Amino acid sequence: MRTAPTILHLDMDAFYASAEQAAKPSLRGKAVVVGGLGPRGVVATASYEARKFGVHSAMPMGQARRLAPNAAYLVPRFGLYREISEQVMGLLRELSPLVEPLSLDEAFVDLEAGGVADDQASALAVGERLRADIKAVTGLAGSVGLAASKMLAKIASEEAKPDGLRLIVPGTERDLLGPMPVRTLPGVGPATGDHLRRGGITTVGEIAEAGEDELVRLLGKSHGSALYAMALARDERPVVAERESKSVSVEDTYDVDIHDRVRVRGEVARLADRCVERLRAAGHSGRTIVLKVRRFDFSTLTRSETLRGPTDDPGVVREAAARLLEAVDTTGGVRLLGVGVTGLADYTQEDLFAQAQAQALAEGPEQGEGEGDTAGEEAAADGAEEPPADEMPLAARRWAAGHDVRHERFGHGWVQGSGLGRVTVRFETPGSLPGRVRTFRVDDAELVPAEPLPLVGPPEVGAEQCPLG
């Protein structure tokens, strides 16, 4: 392992929610929750203000609404998040040719390979400069971890949150890790943590004390040996730039077997959305959708479906995964679910996007409970982006909460909610004061979808404030 803390891990703070707060002056300092607004929606990101109420990522949206009923609930704008991510990754690549993105908002950087740091002082200087550059370019905050290995750098960035920097001095790693819970280590999920707890092991230090033989007995040769090495702070994994992926997948193991078929369907939909997020972050699309199901008896089934062409559309992936699930018997319970995409390409098949849009239109608009309600966005596919609305008939347009619009008289704004044939818009821009709220008919010809404005820079002329008449 290295003798200098020259591996950097960057993690943008509450990325989606922070981007929305930066874009919407009226939401700054307030609780913001981004995710799917439908009945099976889950939280993608919660702002730190929302986390104070107990809201967190992967929580069912219904539970989040009960915990924080006054928060702003928004549908993701992945196009904006990708643009910001590209800016941040560009800054990282100025530091080193070895940048390993993990998602839109997270990456490892080998500072030594870039020749910008070779000791503790230079690594600290690079980390602080990077944080300042990210804030100057995007207006957002990122937390930085510095260490001699990838595992420790990631732990350091987690400890630095929010908006901080943490350096782990080489040689102090075991003292730092010792009292930490076993779930701190990569690869230790609920099931592994439960196995270790039953063996009397609850901290990383106790893993080291137990010895490799005991870990192998509890967890098997591969997992046990790897976990023992991590407990000793041994991690020789290099930072790998632009790895050539053959597939992209996500999976979850559940503490308690899932018996409810409705919940199984909801979990598969959520995993499909997460899989597409990773697919897009890697700049890929794929032709084959794969569903993985591990049942109560540990038997594992995989089912796959090959599409007519590659896609990165969340609606298409979700529908394919749902079809695959219908062919799987989940009677008795499910321990693990996974969704993956293979047959990767760097382009998409346009007719698949049209296919998803046609499906959304066929479902018809949903009705909310009143002005400002977000029920009308539930068909936004539980966390997926709304299909482009520019060419839809006026009355058929979907107005997703948080998405950008422009009005001929009032300028740029964003959808605060819709329902009962009405859409409520707050007119403001990233560089303006908090703006006025106005309500329109959903078929108002003067109201059209718009592209997001840059987060940093002068406000758009004529859109700083809404007229007060």
Residues with catalytic roles: 106
Pairing of strands 99-103, 106-110: antiparallel
Phi, psi (5° rounding) for residue 169? -70, 125
* The residue to which tokens 């009355």 are assigned: 395
Give the angle subtended at the CA of 458 by the CAs of 455 and 459, to the nearest 5°.
75
Q: Six-digit token pair at 186?
A: 């990569």
Peptide bond into 162 cis (omega under 30): yes
Q: Which residues contact 239 (CB under 8 A, 6 or more apart)?
A: 7, 98, 99, 100, 108, 109, 110, 113, 150
For residues 168 and 150, give the distance between their C-alpha atoms in angstroms, rounded to a whole number: 11
For residues 119 and 117, give the distance between their C-alpha atoms in angstroms, rounded to a whole number: 6
Contact between residue 405 and residue 448 where contact means Cβ atoms under 8 Å apart: yes
Q: Six-digit token pair at 382?
A: 């539980």
**Sheet holding 32-35: strands in order across?**
43-46, 32-35, 72-74
Q: How many CB atoms lie within 10 A of CB 60?
A: 18
Coil/strand/helix, residue 324 = helix
Q: How far apart are the first and last CA of the chain?
A: 66
Q: Six-digit token pair at 286?
A: 């794929």
Pairing of strands 32-35, 72-74: parallel
Type of residue numbered 408:
E
Q: Estimate to the nearest angstrom the gap between the alpha carbon of 295 and the chain centroid.
A: 27
Coil/strand/helix, residue 183 = helix
Phi, psi (5° rounding) for residue 259? -105, -25
Helices (H), 4-117: 15-23, 48-51, 61-67, 78-95
Type of residue numbered 115:
G
